[in-house]
Structure formats: C-alpha cells, structure tokens
Amino acid sequence: MSIKQPVTINDVARRAQVSVSTVSNVLTGNRPVSAKTRAQVMLVVEELGFRPNRLARGLVSRSSKTIGIVASGLEYFGPSRTLVGIEQEASERGYSLILSLIHEPATEEVEPIVNHLITHQVDGIIWAIPQIGQNRVWWKSAVERLPVPVVFLNHAMWPGSLGVDIDNCQGGFMAASHLLANGFVNIGLIAGPGQWYAAEMRKKGWETALHEAGRAIDPRQLAEGDWTPQSGEQAFFDLMRRYPEMDAVFAANDQMAIGAMRAASDLNLRIPEDIAIVGFDDVPEAAFTRPRLTTVRQPVVGLGRLSVKALIRLIAGEMEPGDAGVGAMLQPSLIVRESSQRVAR
C-alpha cells in the first residue's frame, strides 16, 4: 500500500548500474554514450516508465521548452484557427504551450499576464492580441523589458520587433477590385471597428482600389460595424438609407456580410442582381448562404505556424527582432462565389 512515488532519474541510474549523469546523457543526447550503455539505460527507462520532470529540467537548463500565448477572441474564426496552427507547429517542434486569454483586447492591463508567463520561464511569447487603437503603445514598456523574445500576430510592423500578419490591405483591395471588375460601381464598405488595425487595413485596401479606378470616396458609402452579424445588418440598413445608389458592398468579415445579406433580403433586394456582397474570412458557412458568399480567405492556420517558426528562430538566436525578414506578411486569396457575379445563376 505504498504511495505511488514517481520514479526519478536516480531510480533509473541505480537500477541500470550507471551514474545519473549517464542517464541524463542518454536521454538528452547532450553527450555521447556508448551503444551498450545506452541500450542498458533505455531498457530500464522503459521498464520503470520513467518520465523526466520538466520542472527540474527547466530549472537547471534554463530553457523550459515552453512558449506563452497571449490571445483573445478565441470565439472567432480567425483567432481559433490560428491557435490551432500555433499548437501544431509548436508540438511538432517539441514546445509546449501555455495559454493566457485576455477578455478585453483593448486593455492596458497586461503586466499580470506577462508576469505570469515569465514566472513560468517561457522561452518566448506569441502576442496574438489584435492591435487596437493605442494598445500596443501602452504595452510597449511592459513588452520591451521582457527577458524573452516576442512575436506579434496581427500587428503593424514595428521597428525593432518581429511581427507576422495577413496582408489585410491587399485583401481589401482584392475584394473591391473584384467588384469593380464585375461592373459594380457604387461600392459601400461595412468596416470593422475603427480602432482595429486589421479593420483599418481592409478599409485602406478598399479605398485604394476605388482610387485606382478613379472614383472619389464619399463618407456616405462607409459604415462601421463591430464584427457581429447584428452590426452588419444594421450597417447595411444605414448604408442603403443614406447611399441608395449603392450596388455592391464589401463587409470586413463574413459575419457582418451575413448580417448584410439578411438585411438586403429584408429590403427585397436581390443578391447579386440588385446588390453584390463580398465578405472576409471564408468561414465554413460562407459557401452555404443563399447566394453563396464571395469572400477573402486568410491563411490563418499558416499564420499560426509561421509565428511559431519565427519565434523559435528568435529563441535560437538565429535571428534578431530587428531583421523583420521577408515572408512575415501572408497573402490572402479571393474566393469568388455567387454573391458578387453579375451573371450569377
């Protein structure tokens, strides 16, 4: 009836008739061990089911093989998929994830989170909170004096720090250009919340496309939502009221696009005959709305993986945050479906 004491490296060493250092060397591969000894040790390791204590390991080796994730908005499509990508890449490379969620991404209060991760001796941090308004400026001091490298996700490039992001501006540009190319002329925008960097970029892309087509932009053709379908619905009503000549609208995410489709249908507008709609994200539902929604697909999983790759290179010292390499900006792609085609169906 003995309490099940976990088996330690000492138990293994004793049983295998070698020193602890030898066992350690077999397990970590830090120094060569003769084939005979290694076999002998491995046998005992299997036999006893030895599982090295990472706390002890991290304590002395000063590397916990752990990365901290600071995230928010996991209930949304992009962030949750990105997290999946992060986890995949990390686990493939032998890193563990310790997860901290922030409920209000515009918060100034990140010290406790950062401290929490640091006390866990993470080797690096992935900062996956959207850049909103001045939040990054607030965090500057807290993040700058961190003893470990940080990779920013979904942030503006920043001198001296490493970020990976989707090219949202290009995405917005593609959406608007596509509508123009299909003969739509009065293109409204249902933008994301004003302070969000990603929302700004998508808007900028839309603006650029319109400018390049030689069309001036009227404030009437722009409404702002908060990413929810509800807000998309409302924004669409507002737009139609004050900009009745609108014949197409680009919504900065699919949920708002779905809200807008609902609103259009309430106004007895046919899509795309009377009004074309393009979204952003390519959520699974987007292919099954009526009509099917044209949208901009982001490589969200790839984004997560890339952030881990970059972080690991920082950790290994192969790279400085300064040399924000090429490839830190992933390209979205346009998925053309029924909601934006003049000749649809």
Among 42, 97, 106, 142, binds a second copy (CB under 8 A): 97
Among 12, 13, 45, 87, binds a second copy (CB under 8 A): 87
Number of residues located near DNA, criterion CB under 7 A: 32
Q: Distance from first CA to last CA of the chain, Å, rounded?
A: 74
Q: Whole-number minimum distance, CB 337 to a second copy, in Å?
A: 12
Site string for DNA, 58-77 (x = CB under 7 A): -xxxx---------------
170 contributes a contact to DNA by CB under 7 A: no
Residue 5 or 34 having the CB closest to a second copy: 5
Among 290, 291, 283, residue whose Cα is nearest residue 254: 283
297 contributes a contact to a second copy by CB under 8 A: no
Q: Which of residues 128-147 bind a second copy (CB under 8 A)?
A: 147
220 contributes a contact to a second copy by CB under 8 A: no
Among 2, 3, 4, 6, binds DNA (CB under 7 A): 6
Q: Which of residues 99-128 bind a second copy (CB under 8 A)?
A: 99-101, 103, 115-116, 118-121
Task: Give me 284's structure tokens.
Answer: 């699974």
Q: Which does 61 bind (CB under 5 to 8 A by kind): a second copy, DNA, none?
A: DNA
91 contributes a contact to a second copy by CB under 8 A: yes
Cβ-based burial of 238 (10 A; exposed 0-12, middle 13-18, buried ≥19)? middle
Taken in order 253, 255, 261, 266, the sign of the CA dihedral is negative
Q: Quick check: 335 and 171 in contact, CB under 8 A? A: no
Q: Quick check: 174 and 280 in contact, CB under 8 A? A: no
Among 30, 31, 43, 51, binds a second copy (CB under 8 A): 51
Q: Whole-number minimum distance, CB 49 to DNA, in Å?
A: 11
Residues in the site for a second copy, rule: CB under 8 A? 4, 6, 51-56, 58-59, 64, 66, 69, 74-75, 77, 80-81, 83-84, 87-88, 91, 96-101, 103, 115-116, 118-121, 147, 228-230, 232-233, 255, 258-259, 261-262, 265, 283-285, 287-290
